[in-house]
Chain A
Amino acid sequence: EVQLLESGGGLEQPGGSLRLSCAASGFTFSSYGMTWVRQAPGKGPEWVSSISGSGGATYHADSVKGRFTISRDNSKNTLYLQMNSLRVEDTAVYYCAKGRQPIDYWGQGTLVTVSS
């Protein structure tokens, strides 16, 4: 059974940093691209970043490019999202998801709140 467990969310001030982690199990992690998707309260999902199975290819939305970095450690079956220079508009539930094209399984999400 696929399991994706996100952690690292919380309350942070504008300009601050957070690092999200996603522990994966139930599938061969290194064989799959992975994705972060966020969803602001009451809004639809927004794709944030994707990474290939090897980690050699990464993609970021323009809204986070230069501030967020997706990475993975295949030896630990873990996906990361380093978020710097946080803005109020980054407030959302952040979902770790298996797959890139398409996304075929979503974790339960971790809430990131950016507020002073």
Chain B
Amino acid sequence: EIVMTQSPGTLSVSPGERATLSCRASQSVSSNLAWYQQKPGQAPRLLIYGASTRATGFPARFSGSGSGTEFTLTIDSLQSEDFAVYYCQQYNNWPQTFGGGTKVEIK
């Protein structure tokens, strides 16, 4: 099973600043990496797939990069609605596996 490790666990950011979230895979997942956003009491929502393709409905301030084992989610100029938990997930191998999440909170 591929282990997905996210860092940091919590990120405190002021509105308007940039947030950089990391996700590492225990072995290569090529570009088969997704990011999900989850707000309290809601289901996760697909944010990024194919490591860098933004899903419908998300603005350009969200961007994903990386391949192989190292991935990054960048949120430029954080808005109030961006404070949430972000999970990475690999879908290159079965079983699909999720990271433990990064909570982006208001500083």
Contacts and interface: CB of A to CB of B under 8 A. Distances in A.
B46 interface: yes
Given A44-B87, A45-B44, A95-B43, A104 B98 contact: no
B91 A108 contact: no
A62 B87 contact: no
Contacts of B94: 59
B39 interface: no
Interface in A67-116: 95, 100-109
B99 interface: yes
Which of B45, B95, B99 has most A Cβ within 10 Å? B95
Nearest to B94: A59
Main secondary structure of the interface of B (DSSP, over half): loop
Contact of B46 (A50, A95, A105, A109): A105
Instruction: Give the interface size class of chain A.
Output: 10 to 19
B101 interface: yes
Contact of B43 (A44, A61, A62, A109): A109
A45 B101 CA distance: 9
Nearest to B36: A45
A102 B89 contact: yes
Given A47-B96, A100-B91, A107-B43, 19 more contacts: A45-B87, A47-B89, A47-B97, A47-B98, A59-B95, A62-B1, A62-B95, A95-B43, A101-B96, A102-B34, A102-B89, A103-B34, A103-B46, A103-B89, A103-B91, A105-B46, A106-B43, A106-B44, A109-B43
Interface of A: 44-47, 50, 59, 61-62, 95, 100-109
